[in-house]
Amino acid sequence: MHTMQQNEDTRRMTKSPPTTSGTDSPEHLASLLARVAATQCRAAFSELFAYFAPRLQAYGTRQFGNEQIAADLVQETMTNVWHKAHLFKADKGSPATWIFTIARNIRFDFLRKNKHRQHDLSADDLWPILAEQNESLDDDYALDHDVLMQEITEYYQQLPDNQRLVIEKIYLEGKSQQEVSDSLGIPLGTVKSRTRLALQKLREMIVNHD
Amino acid sequence: MIKFHPSEEILQQFAVGDLSPALSVVVATHVDMCSHCAKQVQEIEHLMAEKFSQTAKGIGSSQMDTMLEQIFASNEPAYQVIQDTDNIISLEGKRFKLPATLARQKDRIGPWSKVPGKLYRAPVNLGSGECMNLIYMDEGSSVPEHTHKGQEATLVINGVFHDESGEYRDGDFILMNSHDQHAPQTQNEDCLTLAVLDAPMHFTSGISRLLNPFSSLFFR
Ligand SMILES: [Zn+2]
Percent share of chain A, pLDDT over 90: 39
B205 shares its domain with B161:
yes
Query: Which bin fits B67, alpha (ψ -120 to 50), beta or left (φ > 0)?
Result: alpha
> Based on the structure, what is the number of domains in chain B?
2
pLDDT (average), residues A23-32? 91
CB distance from A153 to chain B under 8 Å? Answer: no
DSSP string over A145-183: HHHHHHHHHHHGGGS-HHHHHHHIIIIIS---HHHHHHH
The more confident residue out of A2 and B129 is: B129
Task: Enter the CATH code of domain A139-209.
Answer: 1.10.10.10
A-B Cβ pairs (cutoff 8 Å, strict): 135
A contacts of B45 (beta carbons < 8 Å): 93, 97, 100-101, 104
B61 shares its domain with B136:
no
A60-103 pLDDT, tens digit each? 999 999 999 999 999 999 999 999 998 998 888 899 999 999 99
Give the residues across from B146 on adjacent strands. Answer: B182, B203
Specify if B188 maps to a domain: yes
Nearest chain A Cα distance for residue B47, angstroms: 8
Specify if B56 maps to a domain: yes
Question: ipTM value of the model?
Answer: 0.88
B154 shares its domain with B55:
no
B30 shares its domain with B136:
no
- Among B50, B35, B34, B40, smallest CA distance to B12 is for B40
Contact A191, A86 (CB under 8 A): no
Specify if B62 maps to a domain: yes
Question: Which chain B residues in 59-98 lie under 8 Å from chain A, judged by CB atoms?
Answer: 59, 63-64, 67-68, 70-72, 74, 76-77, 79-84
A contacts of B31 (beta carbons < 8 Å): none
CB-nearest to A100 from B52, B56, B70 is B52
B176 shares its domain with B132:
yes
Cβ–Cβ of B74/A130 closer than 8 Å? no
- Res. B139: pLDDT tops 50: yes
Three-state SS for B3? coil
Specify if B92 maps to a domain: no
Specify if B122 maps to a domain: yes
Cα–Cα distance measured from residue A134 to residue A136, given in angstroms and rounded to the nearest whole number: 6
The more confident residue out of A19 and A150 is: A150
DSSP string over B172-189: -EEEE-TT--B--B-SSS
pTM beyond 0.95: no
B47 shares its domain with B118:
no
- Among B12, B24, B29, smallest CA distance to B155 is for B29
**Fold equal for A22-126 and A139-209:** no
Cβ–Cβ of A121/B25 closer than 8 Å? yes
Class in CATH terms, A22-126 = mainly alpha
B53-98 pLDDT, tens digit each? 999 998 999 999 999 999 999 988 776 766 556 788 988 888 999 9
Contact B145, B205 (CB under 8 A): yes
B183-217 pLDDT, tens digit each? 889 999 999 999 998 755 555 554 444 444 444 45
Cα–Cα distance measured from residue B192 to residue B122, given in angstroms and rounded to the nearest whole number: 11
Whole-angstrom CA distances from B8 to A34, A107, B34, B167 are 34, 22, 14, 22
For residue B85, give the chain A residue with the closest CA.
Answer: A134
Three-state SS for B194? strand
Give the residues across from B201 on adjacent strands. Answer: B148
Contact B154, B195 (CB under 8 A): yes
pLDDT (average), residues B108-116? 89
Cα-to-centroid distance, B51 and ligand 1 (Å): 24
The predicted structure's pLDDT at residue B84: 53
Cα–Cα distance measured from residue B101 to residue B30, given in angstroms and rounded to the nearest whole number: 9
Of B55, B71, B87, the last residue of a domain is B71
Question: Which chain A residues in 112-151 lie under 8 Å from chain B, judged by CB atoms?
Answer: 112, 117, 119-121, 123-128, 130-134
B120 shares its domain with B60:
no
Which residues have their alpha-adjacent CB atom under 5 A from ion ligand 1? B 5, 34, 36-37
- Res. A141: pLDDT tops 70: no
Q: pLDDT band for position A140 (50/70/90)?
A: very low
Q: Which of A119-123, A155-159, B65-69, B100-104 has the highest mean pLDDT?
A: B65-69
- Res. A12: pLDDT tops 60: no
B136 shares its domain with B210:
yes
Whole-angstrom CA distances from B44 to A61, A94, A112, A116, B17 are 21, 13, 23, 28, 12
B28 shares its domain with B104:
no
**Domain boundaries of chain A, sorted by first residue:** 22-126, 139-209
What residues make up the domain containing B143? 98-217
Nearest chain A Cα distance for residue B42, angstroms: 9
A contacts of B84 (beta carbons < 8 Å): 134
B197 shares its domain with B109:
yes
User: What is the dihedral sign for C-alpha B42, B48, B50, B53?
Assistant: negative
Give the residues across from B203 on adjacent strands. Answer: B146
Other C-beta atoms closer than 10 Å to the C-beta of A101 total 24
B119 shares its domain with B203:
yes
Specify if B81 maps to a domain: no
